[in-house]
């Protein structure tokens, strides 16, 4: 299932690549080849707190809290 979510890929000095969600600006993953980031990008869901902090509201798209792998405060 293709996603309409977009990600920016940034090369790091170490030779790895970082994937950044252009909606919530979280780092989604870091990998050697850019192709290796697609699985992490497919699993990413922007957190409600990030969207409210950045946009002042939640844009229409599924958002959950907390983000996968994060603990709630």
Give the whole-angstrom CA distance, residue 6 versus residue 23: 8
The verdict on residue 73 lying in a domain is: no
The verdict on residue 44 lying in a domain is: yes
The verdict on residue 21 lying in a domain is: yes
Work out how many domains the chain is built from and give that number: 1
The residue range of the domain holding 12 is: 7-55
Q: Model confidence at 60, in pLDDT bands (50, 70, 90)?
A: low
The verdict on residue 1 lying in a domain is: no
pTM here is 0.65
Tens digits of per-residue pLDDT, 4-57? 559 999 999 999 999 999 989 999 999 998 888 999 999 999 988 888 888 787
The verdict on residue 67 lying in a domain is: no
Count CB neighbours of 29 within 10 A: 19
The verdict on residue 13 lying in a domain is: yes
> What order of strands is seen across the sheet that includes strand 27-31?
7-11, 17-21, 27-31
Report whether 29 contacts 38 (CB < 8 A). no
Q: Model confidence at 58, in pLDDT bands (50, 70, 90)?
A: low
Give the whole-angstrom CA distance, residue 38 versus residue 60: 23
Give the whole-angstrom CA distance, residue 19 versus residue 38: 9
């Amino acid at each position: 299932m293709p996603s309409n979510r977009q990600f920016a890929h940034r090369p790091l000095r170490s030779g790895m690549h970082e994937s950044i969600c252009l909606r919530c600006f979280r780092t989604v993953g870091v990998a050697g080849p850019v192709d290796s980031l697609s699985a992490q990008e497919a699993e990413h869901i922007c957190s409600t707190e990030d969207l409210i902090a950045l946009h002042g509201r939640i844009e229409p798209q599924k958002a959950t809290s907390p983000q996968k792998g994060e603990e709630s405060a």
